[in-house]
A and B are shown apart, each in its own frame.
Chain A
Amino acid sequence: MKKSFWIGTAFVALLAGAAGAQELKFAPGEDAKFNWKSYEDFKSAHGDLKGQSLTLFGPWRGEDEVLFNSVLAYFNAATGANGKYSSSENYEQQIVIDTQAGSPPNIAIIPQPGLLADLATKGFLTPLGQENADWIKTNYGSGEDWIRYGTYKGKDGKEAYFGFPFKADLKSLVWFVPENFEEAGYEVPKTMEDLIKLSDQIVQDGGVPWCIGLGSGGATGWPATDWVEDMMLRTSSAETYDKWVSNEIKFDDPAVVGAIEEFGKFARNDKYVAGGVAAVASTDFRDSPKGLFDIPPKCYMHHQASFVPSFFPADKELGVDADFFYLPTYASKPELGTPVLGAGTMFAITKDSPAAKAFIEFLKTPIAHEVWMAQASFLTPFKGAKTEAYANDTLRKQGELLTTATTFRFDASDMMPGKIGAGAFWTGMIDYVGGKDAKAVGGDIQKAWDGLK
């Protein structure tokens, strides 16, 4: 034990060196790309929270945690409150345990509206009030959709607004390496028909068009749900999509089965996917994008959300070595507009306090968005945040897609009941890629859903 004590001492010494006061990432007032006025206004309005503690609990760990803490530092500096963020790998379970046992954090940050709706019904969330809903409506791109995803039934059975969206993810993206496209003479496709033509062209030239990886440990299958949702929005109306989410139309409805088969056009074509169809389910989603950068390239295109650059090799510069295009729509279905599939994290008050209320106010200031935008991997539908603040052009282009989308739809699997959206839908997609019929897969998922009713 003496030895481990000694090691422990060495660690303490290390720790002492690493710890330090949290500093503001960008000095207030200095850089004109930030809206410092909003920071000063917030400071004078809420500067009276000295010493109050605020606990936040959410999904971000590692680098994301550092980034969020840099935003939180501005709140702490402005109000004098002591806001502390923490996370856990199993935050979905942990938040349920904490709220049920009666020791919740002040604010819970949850990316699944389905889970928040569940907490709201049990009476664990404090409503944010109509004024916040109105604010979102006027200040967020597709504001009404965002309000819908934060509105749930409370314990009294009445609908109220609970979830404040902050940080969005964009799903309808296809990533590619511009230099590979340039060398082979490929053009970025503007329509789905062109995209299929391009895929065939790549096959003819002896290449492989797509990298698709569905592996994700216990969550294997989820990347396929994004594909199906994107295809759903490109083959059916947004209203049909909403009905699908609420199970008003069944999972084996022709519209849903059609969307699954659209996905199958890509994922179940041996010539289209790197490694063949057999590799789709076994390739990890984190390793899959790396095929773009292999020499010779394993694939030319990769469909994945806006977070994926963090899994690109470290030396790849966004916009130069890698870029994205919007997953195009069918030219034959112009009535569907340009739908955007996305997701976002919702902030909900699980234990009310003046500091918690003030934090929600803080999220309405442009500066809260800009500090994260200026560093990395942050998109916001907030129209008041300066787009100059985005760290690079790739992010800026994605941000513009979000604020200008004609239709914004939240990731369906995140809104379905957990047993479907994070269960039967995933496993069903694995079965489908494994060769099962789309209609049968839809039937299986519907059976699981019926079992919940």
Chain B
Amino acid sequence: MSAAASLRRIGVPRLILHASVLVICIIWLIPTLGILVTSFRDAGQITSSGWWTALTGAAETSAARLGDPASARQDGPNYIISGSVFDGGDVKSGSVVAFGTRVAAPTEFEAGKEADLGDGEKLTVNTDGSYSYVKSGPFDDKRGKRIYLSITQPPNFTLNNYRTVLTSAGIGQSFINSLTVAIPATIIPILIAAFAAYALSWMQFPGRSLIIALVVGLIVVPLQMTLIPLLTLYNDIGNLFGVSSRSYVGIWLAHAAFGMPLAIYLLRNYIAGLPKEIIESARVDGASDFEIFVKIVLPLSFPALASFSIFQFLWTWNDLLVAMVFLGTGKDQLVLTGSLNALLGSMGGKWEILTASAFITIIVPIIVFFALQRYLVRGLLAGSVKGG
């Protein structure tokens, strides 16, 4: 089959569509790929070259010191120092491409060729790192000569970044803390919001639209504005009962309150869109509001519940600010984001830790997403109403 025939079979518009989807996907994935590759490289590599060079062996220039002048042996009129540039441990082994004796021109001479340094000195560095440094008279330097090498090294990856993050003190505790915060802080607002959403869409009572408008209005209130008043309230309550104002209950309630307006709004829109016929026939059959909610509305709104719980879980899992304020900053109170952040140090800038941490924190949200994802695609309403 010719290319033209297969092109005709697929169709040009579809081909363009597929190609553009592919391109967008690739562009979308590049940053993640970059972070993934970076997380497997050591700090030195990250600063010296880009992650896209990681898969091909890169040429690195480094400095090495030749053997001590005292180790020179005499051969006729010449003095010779020989050895391998990899002996000193200054340089990681690889194959030498070029060398030089001045820092301003580190690749002046090709490996394997003799370089005339003037003053009767000659230096040869071979690709395997062995060198011979010959002078027509005795060497009079105090220290070994410093030379510069361009060395190609095979691609090199390390698991050390992950090891550093996973074995840092307190990381296990903070992982548990994060789960303790995120799970109830996801379930509580959904439970309450589902009840509210049903009432606001299927029960008739005065002031209903006003309440809906109020809830929608609350979505735009930035949570940062509430931090100080809310913490003051917690402190007062804590003092009244003689308990600490920083507790899990406090942060659950805070997260629940911050997530509630959006939850009610999303769920109400979904539940209000359920077919009237189902609810009405249930009423005719004598079901109470509570029965309708539990037996009909709740199962039918699973896709909306699932998508909101993914949102809320991601938000509580990734949150740092609310946890720092309402749970505290002590070692045993830190959530995962907090303790990973502390690993970066006072000045930040540790890319190797940052990227490895990113892939460690991503695990739990991914598990949650895949666990709930099937509810999103299942067509629960298919065929529930005749002609609907």
Contacts and interface: CB of A to CB of B under 8 A. Distances in A.
**B is bound to A:** yes
Nearest to A17: B167
Contact of B342 (A4, A87, A97): A87
A76 B105 CA distance: 56
B179 A4 contact: yes
Interface stretch (B1-9, B66-74, B319-327): B319-327
Contacts of A98: 231
Interface in B342-373: 342-350, 363-364, 367, 371
Nearest to B89: A315
A296 B103 contact: yes
A28 B148 CA distance: 46
B148 A14 contact: no
A90 B338 CA distance: 11
Interface stretch (A58-66, A115-123, A237-245): A58-66
A94 B62 contact: no
B245 interface: yes
Contacts of A311: 347, 349
Given A184-B104, A295-B106, 15 more contacts: A1-B371, A4-B179, A8-B172, A18-B168, A18-B170, A65-B342, A98-B231, A100-B232, A103-B235, A103-B245, A217-B348, A287-B47, A290-B47, A294-B61, A297-B103
B106 A296 contact: yes
Interface stretch (B16-24, B112-120, B328-336): B328-336
A89 B346 CA distance: 8
A207 B104 CA distance: 8
B283 interface: no
B318 to A, nearest CB: 14
B295 interface: no
B166 interface: yes
Interface string A63-82: 11100000000000000000
Contact of A296 (B105, B324, B347): B105
Nearest to B149: A295
Contacts of A7: 175, 363
Contact of A62 (B44, B328, B344): B344
A287 B47 CA distance: 7
B382 interface: no
B57 to A, nearest CB: 18
5 contacts: A11-B176, A14-B167, A57-B329, A286-B347, A296-B105
Interface in B219-270: 227-229, 231-232, 234-236, 245-246
A185 to B, nearest CB: 12
A12 B171 CA distance: 9
A21 interface: no
Interface string A39-71: 000000000000000010101111111000000
Contacts of A296: 61, 103-106
Contacts of A313: 44, 47
Contacts of A286: 347-349
A295 B329 contact: no
Q: What are the 6 closest A-B residue pairs judged by CB atoms, nearest first?
A: A62-B345, A15-B172, A11-B172, A101-B231, A286-B349, A86-B329
B328 A86 contact: yes
A350 to B, nearest CB: 14
Contact of B232 (A11, A102, A179): A102
A103 B148 contact: no
B175 A11 contact: yes
Contacts of A101: 227-229, 231-232, 234-235
A23 interface: no
A205 B102 CA distance: 13
Contacts of B148: 295
Given A295-B148, A296-B105, A15 B345 contact: no
A284 B176 contact: no
A102 B47 CA distance: 44
Category for how many chain B residues contact A:
35 or more
Contacts of B227: 97, 101
Contact of B330 (A65, A84, A297): A84
Interface in B191-238: 227-229, 231-232, 234-236
Contacts of A13: 172
B43 interface: yes
B324 A310 contact: no
A90 B342 CA distance: 11
Contacts of B104: 184, 205-207, 296-297
Contacts of A3: 367
Interface of A: 1, 3-4, 7-8, 11-16, 18-19, 55, 57, 59-65, 84, 86-90, 94, 97-98, 100-103, 179-180, 183-184, 205-207, 217, 284, 286-287, 290, 294-297, 307, 310-311, 313-314
A294 to B, nearest CB: 8
B47 to A, nearest CB: 6
B179 A59 contact: no
B321 A90 contact: yes
Contacts of A61: 341-346
A62 B231 contact: no
B173 interface: yes
Given A11-B176, A14-B167, A284 B328 contact: no
Nearest to A20: B169
Contacts of B167: 14, 18
A86 B168 CA distance: 16
Contacts of B61: 294-296
A310 B344 CA distance: 12
A222 to B, nearest CB: 11
A14 B174 CA distance: 12
B324 A88 contact: yes
A97 B104 CA distance: 53
Given A7-B363, A296-B105, A284 B349 contact: yes
Contacts of A217: 348
Contacts of B325: 94, 97
Interface in B68-125: 102-106
B106 A97 contact: no
B364 A310 contact: no
Contact of A97 (B63, B179, B228, B236): B228
Nearest to B331: A86
Contacts of A11: 171-172, 175-176
Contacts of A307: 347
A141 B334 CA distance: 38
B227 to A, nearest CB: 5
A4 B367 contact: yes
B371 to A, nearest CB: 8
A8 B342 contact: no
A68 B15 CA distance: 62
Contacts of A16: 172
A150 B171 CA distance: 37
B361 to A, nearest CB: 12
B346 A60 contact: yes
Interface in B119-160: 146, 148
A61 B168 CA distance: 13
B235 A94 contact: no
Contacts of A62: 342-346, 350
B103 A180 contact: yes
